[in-house]
Amino acid sequence: MSVAPSSPVADLGADAAEVVDTPEGVQLHGTRCRGCSAASFPGRFVCYRCGSRDLVPAPVGGSGTLYSWTTMHVSASQPVPYTVGYVDFAHDVRAFGHLATDRAWQIGDPVEVARTPGGWVFAHPGGTS
């Protein structure tokens, strides 16, 4: 059984790959609006700023700054504890994701996108998850 979207237009889930390997390292890929240049991650079908549907896949970057984070100790869907946070990238993109748990985090820490066996994670630069 499928569940109908709650909005008239499916917004998230543009077909751009979420994470790509580049010569500069692992980078998040989202979309950029051709109308107003707003960037988004994850990719969208509709621009959050101007409502345009003219969006193209675009890199968001591979490094940013930790905006905020928290550690989850209760979950019905995955093993605990795990840490999640928001990372600020260039072009006013604030992305949400899991944080590596090899070391402690502080708001303002530099962050890089790293591959994991199950996908990707925000990690300390040069660190491993």
Q: Which of 9, 12, 17, 50 binds Zn ion (CB under 5 A)?
A: 50
Residue 49 binding Zn ion, by CB under 5 A: yes
What is the dihedral angle through the alpha carbons of 44, 16, 61, 119, rounded to the nearest 10 degrees? 110
Minimum separation from the CB atom of position 10 to Zn ion (A) = 17
Helix, strand, coil percentages, rounded to 5, for the chain? 0, 45, 50
Q: Kindly tell me which of 52 and 71 has the beta carbon lying closer to Zn ion.
A: 52
| 41 exposure class (CB count in 10 Å sphere: 0-12, 13-18, 19+) | buried
Residue 38 binding Zn ion, by CB under 5 A: yes
Q: Which of 10, 12, 36, 72 binds Zn ion (CB under 5 A)?
A: 36
Q: Kindly tell me which of 49 and 103 has the beta carbon lying closer to Zn ion.
A: 49
How many residues bind Zn ion (CB under 5 A)? The answer is 8
Q: Which stretch binds Zn ion (CB under 5 A): 19-27, 40-48, 79-87, 101-109?
A: 40-48
Which CA distances in Å does 75 have to 79, 81, 115, 123?
Answer: 7, 8, 23, 22
Token pair for 38: 């707003």
Query: Peptide bond preceding 81: is omega within 30 degrees of 0, i.e. cis?
Result: yes
Minimum separation from the CB atom of position 124 to Zn ion (A) = 33
Task: Give the footprint of Zn ion on this chain (CB under 5 A).
Answer: 33, 35-36, 38, 47, 49-50, 52
